[in-house]
Amino acid sequence: MGDVIKNRYDFVFFFDVKDGNPNGDPDQLNLPRADAEDQHGLVTDVCIKRKIRNYVMLEKKLEPPFDIFIRQKQVLNRIIDGTQGETIQQRQNNLCERYFDIRTFGAVLSTGEKGAGTIRGPVQLTFSRSEDRIYQAEHSITRCAVTTEEDAKKQESREYATTFGRKSTIPYALYRMHGFISASDAIKTNFSEEDLKLLWKSLINAFEHDRAAARGEMSPVKLVIFKHLSHLGNALSGQLFKRVSITRKSDLPRKIEDYQIVVNKDSLPPGVTMQEWPEEDVY
């Protein structure tokens, strides 16, 4: 697996969406998620983690040590109870060795009969929040076919039978997400330098292999990485994040060119370096 990371990282990730629903809310008829108070768009950390997992599955083909623990048709308790080890720590070590997403994000492993406790992963993500308020548009759609015989009988008098549906989108939004990588927690899961490069690659390519008509056009825009010389960090994450700001160049943004992302590289705190994608190769 290579060397465990020895540095703390903080990062800012921007992505945008055009004419799509980046993360529907099942409690709100699958409308794009939004802050109820100010109507800024939201995308959950779980949504982004799913896309990262899916990319790793495609690239590494579920081969250890890059297997994925949280995925469809996986019976988690069967895996937890079948893991070798007499102690919780031994079972955790074996699970971390096999599964990339456990090494990265951690997992609750206390659900089986034997159980393996809880692992806190070194990589933590915030909710993504849109730079501006979003407009949740709903569109009626039709289908020139019916689903059941009952529906067909109801429409016998019509020349063409149709059924109706709904699709929810936002015209355009730029989202910002913050991330944190703890070198101290990486030691516990053996999160390695190889894992780190795969994380950056997966984040940047997460939308490329997750296309769907409902999601419109989702694209990565910018990734700003702050690397600390110390494993505990050389500056507060909040201070570093303030170095990345956004200026709106249009009253009604409809494309990334309507924004300017400004990164202040001057007088970085001692012990902190910075990388930017797409200007620099980060993996």
pLDDT, tens digit, 9 for 90 and up, residues 210-248: 998 888 899 999 999 999 999 999 999 999 999 999 999
pTM of the model: 0.93
pLDDT, tens digit, 9 for 90 and up, residues 131-145: 999 999 888 888 777
One-letter-per-residue 3-state SS of 207-244: CCCCCCHHHCEEEEEEEEEEEECCCCCCCCHHHHHCCE
**Residue 1 falls inside a structural domain:** no
Q: How many domains does the chain have?
A: 1
Q: What is the mean pLDDT of residues 174-196?
A: 98
pLDDT, tens digit, 9 for 90 and up, residues 52-77: 999 999 999 999 999 999 999 999 99
**Residue 282 falls inside a structural domain:** no
**Residue 146 falls inside a structural domain:** no
The more confidently predicted of residues 160 and 126 is: 126
pLDDT of residue 163: 75
What stretches of the chain show up as alpha helix (H) in DSSP? 45-60, 76-82, 88-98, 100-105, 149-154, 183-189, 193-205, 237-241
pLDDT of residue 161: 60
**Residue 252 falls inside a structural domain:** yes
Domain enclosing residue 250, as ranges: 9-139+167-277
**Residue 147 falls inside a structural domain:** no
**Residue 154 falls inside a structural domain:** no
pLDDT of residue 155: 74
**Residue 152 falls inside a structural domain:** no
pLDDT, tens digit, 9 for 90 and up, residues 1-54: 679 999 999 999 999 999 999 999 999 989 999 999 999 999 999 999 999 999
**Residue 86 falls inside a structural domain:** yes
